[in-house]
Amino acid sequence: MPLPTSPIRPLTLPVALCLATALMTAGLTGCSALSPFNTCEDTAARLKDLRSQPILSSIPEGATVPKGLDSVDSRCVDDSGDAWLYAARVYAFPGSRQKVVDFYRTTAKTDGWHLQHDPVDPNTPETTAGLCFTKGGDGEALMLTVYFPAVDNLEREYEFDAGPEFDSGSGFKIEVGSETDGAKTGCFD
């Protein structure tokens, strides 16, 4: 004898699929009520604060601004799903990477920044990996990175011709970044 079937069961699967499809479609189309991510809306004041960070213009003696890169590059980027704010400067330096690392270890610490170490690869030299610092509490948290990008990467990113200042010594980039709401962020999260 066959078991009786419930008239509700045949509707359960189609209704569940319809609801799941509606929720996914709303999320993919950018419905802000369903999105847990921050956007670039209303971030002008925070970007201004990042551009004015004194560490961006604190440079080792002899460092110069490359021709054509004389202003702070600041943006809100939200192409990864969650917005990120940054302000950055590029400098050419006639000395070694170690001198750049030593300068920022001291200067950043004096300015209240806290050096973070990569827990996954702590043996990579800072002259290769660069430096990463954090500062501030929740709502005002900042992250600072100092690193040594390849000249061809700089040329592609900024569309400039690296002049003779990059021929000897070390070019470096310094960047202050933040979540749009100033939430705490770590260097190696």
CB atoms within 10 A of CB 18: 10
- Residue ranges per structural domain of the chain: 8-37, 44-179
**Nearest-angstrom CA–CA distance, 34 and 181:** 18
Q: pLDDT tens-digit profile of 51-110?
A: 999 999 999 999 998 888 888 999 999 887 789 999 999 999 999 999 999 999 999 999
**Nearest-angstrom CA–CA distance, 66 and 123:** 31
Q: pLDDT tens-digit profile of 7-55?
A: 444 444 444 444 444 444 444 444 344 445 688 999 999 999 999 999 9
What confidence score (pLDDT) does residue 36 get? 55
DSSP state, residue 64:
B
What confidence score (pLDDT) does residue 40 get? 92
Residue 163 backbone phi and psi in degrees, to 5: -85, -165
What confidence score (pLDDT) does residue 21 get? 46
